[in-house]
Amino acid sequence: MEGTSFGPVEIWRSMGAVGHSVLIFLLLMSVYSIGVMIERYIQFRRARKQSLLFVEVAKALLPEHRVEDLLTESRQFPRSHLAHIYSAAIVDWRDYQKNPGLPEGFEHTMSRAIDREAVIMVQDMKRGLSGLATIGATAPFVGLFGTVVGIMDAFFSMAASGQSGIATVSGGIAEALVNTAMGLFVALPAVWGFNYFLNRVERFSAEMANSGSEIVDYFVKTTRSHAWKSAKDSR
């Protein structure tokens, strides 16, 4: 085997149909995982940018009790998870405003409306992450399958040729191990990407929980303030 070249082209040409199929499948898995990571990164970056802008708008409008204006402004930030939370709370508040007086414990139903919106937002943020987790978990095994089949072919070839020794099968084993290396190469970025984006989702979820609590407290305080002023004026 001395002098034999084992470059990428030579390895590809010497591999069998199973090896080719495994490598192509791993390549498709890699393209999919990279596409998901790029798409999620862009969406999360937009969510962060729009949320920061929305917070500035909310800080300007809420102290002036311009709730309807804030609802209108929230629709200008469709990718902002905080805008969706505030919008859900304000829409629930508008339903109460249509009726004379606020029922006792209205903040609990408002919190449930916020929680429902947060669940929808989290599910949207997790879109594609299950695919990354699946690729990270299965890509090494797909590569291992190609390696096992390649090693089997190497030993079958050795038996058919009637020759023995490591030199006879070393080329075939080296070619077979390419599948394992490729499987690990595909799996590692997918696992890293999954963990990174899942951490980002958890941060966004915490931000939505905090913002939801803040907007509910705002309406509770506003309602109590108005009730106190009305009671004082009636004396």
> What does the pLDDT read at residue 193?
95
Mean pLDDT of 27-36: 95
> How many C-alpha atoms does 156 have within 13 Å on its Cβ side?
7
Is 80 exceeded by the pLDDT of residue 113? yes
96 vs 213, more confident:
213
Structural contact between residues 188 and 143, judged by C-beta atoms closer than 8 angstroms: no
Per-residue pLDDT band at 177 (split at 50, 70, 90): confident
Residues 119, 197: Cα–Cα separation, whole Å: 17
Closest to 46 measured CA to CA, from 76, 78, 23, 92: 78
pTM of the model: 0.81
Is 90 exceeded by the pLDDT of residue 229? no
One-letter amino acid for residue 145 of the chain: F
94 vs 71, more confident:
71
Length of the chain: 235
Least confident range of 38-42, 124-128, 179-183, 201-205: 179-183
Residues 141, 184: Cα–Cα separation, whole Å: 9
> What does the pLDDT read at residue 232?
42
Mean pLDDT of the chain: 84
Per-residue pLDDT band at 74 (split at 50, 70, 90): very high
Mean pLDDT of 172-177: 72
Mean pLDDT of 226-231: 47
Structural contact between residues 37 and 158, judged by C-beta atoms closer than 8 angstroms: no
Per-residue pLDDT band at 187 (split at 50, 70, 90): very high
> What does the pLDDT read at residue 3?
46
Tell me which residue has tokens 């917070």: 55
| Token digits of residue 185 | 């190469």
Closest to 81 measured CA to CA, from 55, 111, 59: 55
**pLDDT (tens digit, 9 = 90+) per residue, 115-160?**
999 999 999 999 999 999 999 999 999 988 888 887 777 666 666 6
Tell me which residue has tokens 């980002």: 200
> What does the pLDDT read at residue 176?
74
Phi-psi region for residue 15, left (φ > 0), alpha (ψ -120 to 50) or beta?
beta
> What does the pLDDT read at residue 1?
41
Q: Domain-by-domain residue ranges, the chain?
A: 8-99+107-224
